Every structure is written in C-alpha cells, then in structure tokens.
Amino acid sequence: MYDTLIIGSGPAGLSAAVYAKRADLNMAVIEKEFTSGGQILNTYEVDNYLGLPGINGFDMGMKFREHADKLGAPFLEGNVSGIEVIEEGSDTKLPVFRVNTDNGSFDTHTVIIASGANHSKLGAPGEDELTGVGVSYCATCDGAFFRSKTAVVVGGGDVAVEDAIFLARGCSKVYLIHRRDELRAAKTLQNELLSLPNVEVVWDSVVKEIRGNSKVESVLVQNVKTKEETSLNTDACFVAVGITPETDKFKELVDCDEKGYIIAPETGATSHPGIYVAGDARKKRLRQIVTAVADGANAVTAVQDFLVGKS
C-alpha cells in the first residue's frame, strides 16, 4: 500500500517524486515511456527555465530524473488504464485507490495525476523529423531563438494569434496560415494581429509539407479552394492547432472542463478527495516547465495534509 502514486514522469511527475521522497512518503512513479522527461525531451533548447538558460531539453529531463533517482524515488513501468475506488475515505480512515496498468495493479491512499498533454499535430511530412530544429509547439518557449528571422504560425484560434503577435515583436516576418477565410480568435486579438506591419495572414490554406535538412528551411502551403501550392521560406514553423490533455482514463472520477483538462486549484486537489493533478493535465492559464514543476510541489504538499487529516 502506497501513500501516493504519481502517474507520469514529466517535469510535474518528477517534481512530485522529489517532494514526496523528501517528505518520506511511501511513493512510486508510474511511467509508460522508457525515458523520463515528458515533452521536454523533444525540445532542442530551453531558454526560459530559471538558472539554466540554453539547456538542451533532453539534458534537462535527465537532470530532473537524476534528482529523483538520487533521493531513491522508485519507478514502475506501465501504461495506466484507469483508477478504481476500492474504499472511499471517511473521518476515520483514508481512501484506497487501485491504479491499474498493463503491468499490474497497485494500491494507494492518494494519486497524483501528472499524465500531461499532447500538442495536436499537423500530420504533414517533415513535421516529426524537424521537431526541435525549427518545428515547435510553444512560441513562448522557443520564439526567442528566431529573433530577426522569419517564422510561420499555423492555426486560427486564440493561441495561434497570440503566438503570431508574440513572435512579431522579435521576428522580421511572421506568416499566419489558417485553413479558413476568417479567424476564430477573439476580435481584440484579431485587430491587434492585423495591425502589425510584419505579419501576413495566408488565408484558406494548409501546410502540406515542412522542408529542410538539419533545420526548417521552408513550408509548402496549399490553398484549399484553388489547390494552388506555394513555398514559403521560413526559419521556424510554430504549430498551434490545439492541445489534448491525457485525461480520458480519469474523467469518470474527477471533474474536467469541456476540453478535458482536470479542474483543480493551485493545490491540485480534484473533485474526488485523495486524487490530485499536476502539470499540463490541470486546467490553468500557463503550461510551461516551471509551472509543471510548481504543480508537482503543490500537489505533494496537499497530499501530505490529506494523509494527516488536515484537508
């Protein structure tokens, strides 16, 4: 019987592991990938994490894992299929949850869901090969690397327009490629975007291919109405067509918003007592490495209080 089980070994899960071990909890991390680190493993360079400017994403993930290993945090391999409630808690006893995986089941008094989220992809040739060397899913993370260069943003919602506005402050030219003839973003954002002299909106178009050898060099764009194809020279392609939290397996137990993000305050406490959430799976304004790490710490603090009857 564990005090807490942490589902996921990205920055939130690894942070939770460090704090849980320092709190001397009987804990373990369940990870489905053979390497810890989550999405940051695919980031070529991280330039906005305090004290570690320019660190390689893979190296950062390894450092996070090394910290957890140094404290003796145990890791269990398995793809979680769901959480069962074996016993509901009461004033006199703690709840018991069973976390089921393809590699066995494990019982625990609390669970921290740090399963993360996946950026929706275009599915265009070259996207996977050039991810981290020009293809990015986070303008605030990687935009600074393309200062005074040309960038492409794909999408038409708030995030895409915000990304284009953000990039336009430093890039010499920004193309916003959208498959329709009008944007879905808030009108105020649209007005700001369309007022920028170095932004060009490419309407009714989709990216057919992202091209380059060791880095992004151009994107092939097709007009969905005329079928005409155009090649745009660019140094970067920022994909902002949505993000999907990895929460489907937990929706029957905890409250989620319409997009699937688990609803929880800063403590990470979900609608089900004893279940907590940390990182990109949680509903919040900013999804960055630093906020994921903070979520992990907050969730463990809340777990400690719960285990001793303070919450």
Residue 47 has pLDDT above 90, yes or no: no
Which is the catalytic residue, given 102, 107, 142, 235?
A: 142
Estimate the share of the chain in helix, then strand, then coil, as percent rounded to the nearest 5. Answer: 25, 30, 45
Mean pLDDT of the 173-182 span = 97
Q: Given 141, 171, 237, 256, which residue is catalytic?
A: 141
Query: By the 8 A CB rule, do 81 and 249 touch?
Result: yes
Q: Is 141 a catalytic residue?
A: yes
Helix (H) or strand (E) holding 190: helix 187-194
The answer on 130 and 27 residing in a single domain is no
Report, as an integer, the average pLDDT of 44-56. Answer: 83
Our answer to whether residue 47 is catalytic in this structure is: no
Give 152 or 35, the one with higher predicted confidence: 152
Q: Which two tokens stand for residue 276?
A: 């907590």
Same domain, 234 and 302: no
Range of the domain at 160: 121-239
Q: Are residues 52 and 109 in the same domain?
A: yes
Is 125 in the same domain as 234? yes
Check pLDDT > 90 for residue 45: no
Say which range, 26-40, 54-68, 71-85, 137-151, has the weakest mean pLDDT: 26-40
The question of whether 256 is a catalytic residue gets the answer: no
Q: 271 and 175 in one domain?
A: no
The number of beta carbons lying within 10 Å of the beta carbon of residue 179 is 17
Q: For the chain, give the mean pLDDT.
A: 94
Domain finish residue from 239, 259, 284: 239
Q: Are residues 125 and 205 in the same domain?
A: yes
Segment 31-60 mean pLDDT: 82
Same domain, 125 and 229: yes
Q: Which of 3, 138, 163, 280 is catalytic?
A: 138
Which pLDDT tens digit goes with each residue over 115-170?
A: 999 888 999 999 999 999 999 998 888 899 999 999 999 999 988 998 999 999 99
Distances (CA, A) of 136 to 89, 142, 181, 236, 288: 44, 7, 24, 8, 14
Q: What pLDDT is attached to residue 44? A: 63
Q: How many helices (H) and strands (E) does the chain have?
A: 6, 17
* Range of lowest pLDDT (55-59, 190-194, 245-249, 268-272): 55-59
| 65 and 107 share one domain | yes
Identity of residue 197:
P
Mean pLDDT of 1-13: 97
Give the dihedral sign, CA 275/280/284/286: positive
pTM (2 d.p.):
0.76
Q: The CATH number of the domain where 177 resides is what? A: 3.50.50.60
pLDDT of residue 42: 65
Between CA 90 and CA 274 the distance in angstroms is 11
* CA–CA dist 38, 248 (Å, integer): 18
Quick: pLDDT tens for 213-251: 999 999 999 999 999 999 999 999 999 998 889 999 999
Section 197-204 average pLDDT = 98
pLDDT greater than 80 at residue 311: no
Last residue of a domain, one of 239, 272, 287: 239
β partners of residue 218: 211, 233
Domain count of the chain? 2
For position 270, what pLDDT does the model report?
98
Q: Is 197 within 8 Å of 186 (Cβ atoms)?
A: no
CB 40 within 8 A of CB 11: yes
Whether 113 and 133 map to the same domain: the answer is no
